[in-house]
Amino acid sequence: MADTGTVPIPSSAPAGEGQGGGLSSLPDLRDAARRTLDALSTLNARASLDTARALLEPLRDAREYRALMRLAEAIGRLDPKDFRTRRLYAQALIEVDLVTAAIDVLQAFIHRLPANDCEAVEAMGLLGRAHKQIFFDARDRTDPGARHALTQAIAAYRNPFERNPANVWHGANLVALLANSRRLGIPVATDLDPVEVAQRLVKSLDAVPDSARDEWYLPSLAEAYLGLDRWDDVERTVKSFAAGPGARAFLLASALRQFTRVWDLEATERGRGLVDILRARLLQVPGGELRIDSGDLQRLHQQPAPSDAQLEAILGKRGAQTFKWWKTGLARAQSVASIRPRLGSRIGTGFLLRAGDVGIAPADELVVLTNFHVVNPNGASPGIRPEDAEVVFEAVDADTVYEIDTLLWSSAPEQCDASLLRLKQPVRGIEPLPVAKSLPVLGESAQVYVVGYPGGRDLSFSFQDNELLDHEGPPNGVPQIPGVCRVHYTAPTEGGSSGSPVFNANLWQVIALHHKGGKTGMPKLNGASGSYGANEGISIQSIAAFPKKT
Amino acid sequence: MPHVTFIHGIANKPPADDLLRIWRRTLADATDPLPLGDLGVTTSLVYWADLMYGKPDEDLSAHEGVLENTPAAVDASGGDTPPQPHNAEEAAFLERLRAEMTALSDAQIEAVNTPAVPAQPQGALERVPLPWFLKKRIMNAFLRDVHHYLFDVEYAPAGGTPVHIQQSIRKRFIDAVCHADVSRPHVVVSHSMGTVIAYDCLKRVGGCAGVDGLITIGSPLGLDEIQDRLQPEWTRANGFPRARVAKDWVNLFDRLDPVCGLDPLLANDYRENDAGVIKDHVVENGGAWRHSATKYLRQPVFRDSLRGMLGL
């Protein structure tokens, strides 16, 4: 089970959902945090303490860790004995990778509380999580420092579970870490038998009444069964939280992290199948997001599909169809390239198309489409000139670099923000992306997927908050820029995603060229007043129809 | 921008938005996906279950799954009482329609929990391997919904204000197909009792807009009792609603779908200038309950037909 503290972080929850104080959106939450922080620096600060405390969990749930830390810091100065705030402060520190600082915060108050105090129990779990993170981040896990972290993590999880077997999330992590240490041959907690601990955990979980089983119950049970090598039970349990229409992205993502990182399930065929199926399912669930590096993408693309029996065991009758969809997505990612200056790091994304699909002849030539602000004739900032740029299809071969022969056509950022590139070498073995004839219909919970290289990191699928918000296409859209049809969606994209293909949900056809976005301030389309946090792409069909002088 | 108007069939249903989403998702999740929204195809649903049932089904999974373990999953939700005829004509109609469903009397059904299936089943329900308490509810829902529509019964669920069922549903259908947002090509996809409503409006109601294609799935339009109520506009020789269906009418049936009865073919009964023009397709829906709308929507021939009609 993932360590998330007392209340799991619903990473998939829309911003503001479930937030206290009647806050209905992320901007409202941020404003409230800012105002409260100001109030805590006034002479009447104590009057705002309760308000500030009530904002901490909503900030955590919205992943606004920096704001949480500032608020917790201010509360801690006024009320140093507010252990709940200290614990949430520590959790935020872990989330922003300040792990050793989190350990110091936790240790400072754990020993001031009775061992069975609920805050102490939660803090012990977080302490375990912090040490676990140090262990898994270590390049050499047999290094003495890593071993020490593992020892500390196991001790932190063991203590609350042995004191009270009802602390099942500590138990699940204890089982996982013991199994991991035995696999690696690291002699830690040698007095414990991982199988016996897993049996105790199953017993404890069985004893949890139905009414008290929270959303982490099933993932914990799956881990307990993993500890017993009971694979049929593992798959049946995963199915219970992964297959249904109510599957939650953050649960799937958490299980996926735990299965790959801690359990190393991809080392066996059945484990590989389970993990691959979970990845496929995660991408289907609203709010799901996967980041996969280029090497893994190549491996996953070539990896044989899990058996039909395993697909059905975990996802039911739709398993095979889900997996086929996922494999199609993997195949599409092969056609997405990074754009970078010669010998430099990535500055954007581009993708392979048939020239005819964007209105250029010869129709069957394979060309790369990216943004004008990534590559343009004069290298206008922040872009670069075609002769300075190189294109790499990293998901196929990170070592093959394509140079640009010609800028076939470009359109300024205030229009299509597009540049169409002819490569010097012919592209072989990579399929051009298919292009959708129409934009998806609005108002039907349409999803879109963006595949690109966000933040200059490894190839990343962007699947979070991927709702199609609006577009200027038929039947009701009203384009404001002649010949340009804009598309708005909430998929989070970062720098480096510029030039990414935006796909429709079911068919993996390109509907748009991503070009910009922001957390706030994007003017709404079609005459609607106001602005919102959104990303913007240009409809691929409007790019195709845009007049071209090549 | 192509458009599909769906209309549902007998028995209670989930809320309209949910039902439409379930049907669209069924098409999108198929082995050969037909995600209408992604393809720029707009959709709407003619929803009329609220006129017959007090509140929508909340068990959404029953309507999207393949399990056949609840009344909602087998079109038996809400129809627990048989309709009461108001006159001899209605009584005769109900008696004949009931006979299409089963040869067993109420007393025989009540007498034993699972009446023996005769060697040669006389009614459609005898062929359905479901317990009789479910089959009885299915039959009641079917008889009541068809009767209330074809006889334009004034009716409301408990606590509601009675309305003329046929007039109200006709208005909803016509409002839907005439809506300003509907563009061509426009295809009507109708299921079960919805096929009767769609046909009635397209053939018999003035002011109904024309469409490009019609698909009927699990239709009882082959039953004589229903055809009799569609006269005089319906005739066997010229039953095809050509004035308002510009192109094809495709009909899908499963031979074990009891709502289609023992006469599931439509091409012979809805001819155009005495020529058979409807494309009847027999399909195998599988499982015990062959009338399920989502099972029909999963059929490749359904998606191929719809794709062709929409020009995709």
Contact B35/A504, CB-based, under 8 Å? yes
Per-residue pLDDT at B212: 98
CB contact under 8 A, B40 and A440: yes
Instruction: Report the gap between the CA of A101 and the closest CA in chain B (Å).
Output: 47
DSSP H stretches of helix in chain B: 16-28, 49-52, 60-64, 88-101, 106-111, 132-150, 165-177, 193-204, 224-229, 293-297, 300-310
Q: What is the pLDDT, as a whole number, of residue A9?
A: 27
The residues facing B154 across adjacent strands are B164
Q: What is the DSSP string of B60-99?
A: HHHHHSS---SGGGGT-SS--S----SSHHHHHHHHHHHH
Strand-pair partners of A478: none
Q: Is A340 helix (H, G, I), strand (E, B) or coil?
A: strand
Q: Give contacts of B 238-257 with A, CB under 8 A.
A: none
Q: Place B131 in a pLDDT band, splitting at 50, 70 and 90.
A: confident
A550 to chain B, closest Cα gap in Å: 30
Residue of chain B minimizing CA distance to A468: B38
Which of B1, B35, B64 lies closest to A506 in CB terms?
A: B35
Return the pLDDT at A7. 28
3-class DSSP state of B273: coil
Asked if B66 is an interface residue toward chain A (Cβ–Cβ < 8 A), one would say yes
Position A455 scores a pLDDT of: 65
ipTM above 0.95? no
Interface mutation vs chain A, best among B38, B68, B310, most A CBs within 10 Å: B38
B287 at interface of A, judged by CB pairs closer than 8 A: no
Q: What are phi and psi of A465, to 5 degrees?
A: 50, 50
Distance from the A508 Cα atom to the nearest Cα atom in chain B, whole angstroms: 10
CB A505 within 8 A of CB B38: yes
**pLDDT of B175 higher than 80:** yes
Residue A347, both tokens: 């500055």
Cross-chain Cβ contact A321/B29 below 8 Å: yes
- Nearest alpha-carbon partner for A499 in A330, A391, A358, A348: A348
Q: How many CB pairs lie under 8 A apart between chains A and B?
A: 60
Q: Tokens for B76?
A: 């038996």
Instruction: Specify the pLDDT at position A458.
Output: 57
Chain A residues within an 8 Å CB radius of B37: 440-441, 444, 446
Query: Chain B 168-197, CB below 8 Å of chain A: which residues?
Result: 181, 183
Q: How many CA atoms lie within 13 A of B87 on its CB side?
A: 3
Q: Quick one: closest CA in B to A442, which residue?
A: B37
Cβ-based interface (< 8 Å): residues of A facing B: 244-245, 317-318, 320-321, 324-325, 436-441, 444-446, 473-476, 504-507, 509
Q: Pick from A324, A444, A509: which is nearest to B37 by CB?
A: A444
Asked if the Cβ–Cβ distance from B40 to A437 is below 8 Å, we say yes
Report CB contact under 8 Å: A441, B61. Answer: no
| pTM score of the predicted model | 0.81
Closest partner residue to A318 (CB to CB) among B29, B36, B38 is B29
Chain A contact for B286, CB < 8 A? no
Q: How far apart are CA B143 and CA B235, in angstroms?
A: 23
**Token output for A45:** 């600060």
Query: Nearest Cβ partner of A506 from B1, B31, B33?
Result: B33
Nearest by CB: A475 against B35, B42, B43: B42
CB-CB under 8 Å, A444 with B21: yes
CA distance A441 to chain B (A): 5
CB within 8 Å: A441 and B66: no
Mutate to test the interface with B, among A441, A449, A510 (most CBs of B within 10 A): A441
Q: CB distance from B35 to chain A under 8 Å?
A: yes
pLDDT tens for chain A, 550 residues long, are 444 433 222 222 222 223 334 455 666 788 899 999 999 999 899 999 999 999 998 888 777 889 999 999 999 999 999 999 999 999 999 988 999 999 999 999 898 888 888 999 999 999 999 999 999 999 888 889 999 999 999 999 999 999 999 999 899 999 999 999 999 899 999 999 999 999 999 999 999 999 988 888 999 999 999 999 999 999 999 999 898 777 887 788 889 989 998 999 999 999 999 999 999 888 888 767 777 877 788 888 888 899 999 998 988 877 888 899 889 998 999 999 999 999 888 889 999 999 999 999 999 999 999 999 999 999 888 899 999 999 999 889 989 999 999 999 999 999 999 999 999 999 999 999 999 999 999 876 688 888 888 765 555 555 454 789 999 998 889 999 999 999 998 855 565 588 999 999 889 999 999 998 876 788 999 999 988 878 899 999 999 999 886 5
Candidate from B29, B33, B183 with C-beta closest to A475? B183
Of B30, B41, B60, the CB nearest to A441: B41
Chain A within 8 Å of B42 (Cβ-Cβ)?
Answer: yes
Secondary structure of residue B217 in the 3-state scheme: strand
Q: Do A436 and B39 touch (CB under 8 A)?
A: yes
Q: What's the mean pLDDT in B162-183?
A: 95
**Looking at beta carbons, which residues of chain A come within 8 Å of B66?**
317
- What's the CA gap between A421 and A402, in Å, rounded? 11
3-state SS class at B198: helix
Q: Residue B122's pLDDT band (boundaries 50, 70, 90)?
A: low
Task: Say if residues B190 and B296 touch (Cβ distance below 8 Å).
Answer: no
* Structure token pair of residue B292: 């399920």
